[in-house]
Chain A
Amino acid sequence: GAVVSQHPSRVICKSGTSVKIECRSLDFQATTMFWYRQFPKQSLMLMATSNEGSKATYEQGVEKDKFLINHASLTLSTLTVTSAHPEDSSFYICSASNDYGYTFGSGTRLTVV
């Protein structure tokens, strides 16, 4: 079946630094990748939709300059949290749509100290 590999699974960074999260579709081409953020004991909130080769579409309230999304190829999408602050600490999950439906990465736990 379809697999999306997301890494790192956990990252701790200092406040003010940037962190890059990668999502790769291993056995299919992901034309569209979705990025979600999940706060503890809460639902997944859609942050942005990225299409290969074009700019990402961000949801209302999500700062595009802070959460940089790049989808340069059909198998790779990245989310960079720039100048991270403790309030950016969260669980980030990517998802790709394909013929099988939606395949999710295993998530990245970001902790900003």
Chain B
Amino acid sequence: GEDVEQSLFLSVREGDSSVINCTYTDSSSTYLYWYKQEPGAGLQLLTYIFSNMDMKQDQRLTVLLNKKDKHLSLRIADTQTGDSAIYFCAESDQAGTALIFGKGTTLSVSS
């Protein structure tokens, strides 16, 4: 079945850039998402990218997609302490089907 893999932890200093990586196995993945989860809270959609795109930038967030390698990354520029959270990569192969999530990357930002 489909699988989404992420590294579990990332630690950065405030002001540095953070890069969170994700790989997926489903070659028919069409929609790829990044969600943020703060302790005890639900999921907040950060950004998404369609499989026909290579890059998407939204303020401090940059998403890169390498469809050939099935690799997705999220770059957070000028990382702040408020960015500390768990970041989930998720994919679906068509609109309206359930999202498949990675295990999440815990981002720790130190001042």
**Do the beta carbons of B98 and A34 come within 8 Å of each other?**
yes
Instruction: Find the residue from A42, A43, A104, A109 having the highest chain B CB count within 10 A.
Output: A43
B residues sitting closer than 8 Å to A (CB atoms) are: 31, 33, 35, 40-43, 45, 48, 88, 95-104, 106
**Do the beta carbons of A101 and B104 come within 8 Å of each other?**
no
A42 to chain B, nearest CB (A): 6
Please pick, from B40, B42, B97, the residue contacting A6 in the complex, using a CB distance under 8 A.
B42
Which residues in A have their C-beta under 8 angstroms from that of B45? Answer: 101-104
- The complex places the Cα of A101 from the Cα of B40 at a distance, in Å, of 23
Q: Is the interface of A mostly helix, strand, loop or mixed?
A: strand
Which residues in A have their C-beta under 8 angstroms from that of B41? Answer: 106-107
- The complex places the Cα of A105 from the Cα of B88 at a distance, in Å, of 16
Interface check A44, CB cutoff 8 A: yes
How many residues of chain A have a CB within 8 Å of chain B?
22
**Do the beta carbons of A109 and B101 come within 8 Å of each other?**
no
1/0 per residue A28-43: CB within 8 Å of B?
Answer: 0001101010000111
Interface check A49, CB cutoff 8 A: yes
**Do the beta carbons of B104 and A43 come within 8 Å of each other?**
yes
Chain B residue at minimal CB-CB distance from A1: B45
Instruction: Find the residue from B31, B98, B102 having the highest chain A CB count within 10 A.
Output: B98
- The complex places the Cα of A106 from the Cα of B95 at a distance, in Å, of 22
A58 to chain B, nearest CB (A): 12
Interface check A19, CB cutoff 8 A: no
**Do the beta carbons of B98 and A43 come within 8 Å of each other?**
no
